[in-house]
Amino acid sequence: LSSFLSSFSALSEVSSSSFSEESDKKYVALTFDDGPNDTYFTDTLDLLWKYDALATFFVVGQNVAKYPEELNRVLDEGHEIGLHSYSHTNYTNYTIEQVNADIDKCQSAIYDVTKTYSSILRLPSLSMPTYFVQRQINYPLIGAKFSSSANVLSGTVADGDIILIHNGIGSANVASDMQNLEAVLQKLTNEGFEFLTVSQLFEKKGVTPVKGTKQYSNVSAPSQTTSGQETTTATTGQMG
């Protein structure tokens, strides 16, 4: 009996230690908007590979067919592809029929190249349509806690945060975002973060994302505060 109790005690200590180590881990979701392209896309993937970092790429449908090799590399290396409209159209004044038609067009472009469907959406420029339209969108809406690499470098990233970085042509932030990307990866690695895709982050936190009614800027476990799951953007910078 004494031997059994000693073994049980040792096992409990190992289990408790493992649980503590798991609960101490910090996770972050890097996301990249407006690709694919032939200027920054490959460089982004190369840096992510170097740092063993996973990420989510919110792509613009009209760019997809031009870069099939780059887009398939995203999936081959374990990253995630998200929807970001067909032509980066602002949805603010769209009807639900117009929104759905544009999203479907983007979805079809991605499927034609990758033979996969995307399950998450980032609105162009994070522009919210009317609430009546928004709540009818049949995808989880992904926002961002940080909207540029400069904001990440100057700010404090928390467990579960979603970070938006531009690697597509046309954004005012894209040059500085790409210039600072390795510094962002270094900083977050040194701070002990593990890089997950957005869908992995939801799964890791045990959260089933709701569709349409909110934009997620942070994903917190159900037992934690849910304030980070509301429609919030904590930093400045050009969006989406």
Full pLDDT tens readout for the chain, 240 residues: 655 445 545 545 544 444 445 668 999 999 999 999 988 999 999 999 999 999 999 999 999 999 999 999 999 999 999 999 999 989 999 999 999 999 999 999 999 999 999 999 999 988 888 989 999 999 999 999 999 999 999 999 999 999 999 988 777 788 999 999 999 999 999 999 999 999 999 999 999 999 998 899 999 988 654 444 444 443 444 566
| Exposed / middle / buried, residue 125 (Cβ in 10 Å: 0-12, 13-18, 19+) | middle
* 8 A C-beta contact, residue 57 and residue 79: yes
CA dihedral 95, 97, 99, 103 (to 10 degrees): 180
In the prediction, which pLDDT does 78 show? 98
pLDDT tens profile 119-169: 999 999 888 889 899 999 999 999 999 999 999 999 999 999 999 999 887
| pTM score | 0.86
| Beta-carbon contacts of residue 236 (< 8 Å; ≥ 6 apart) | 147, 151
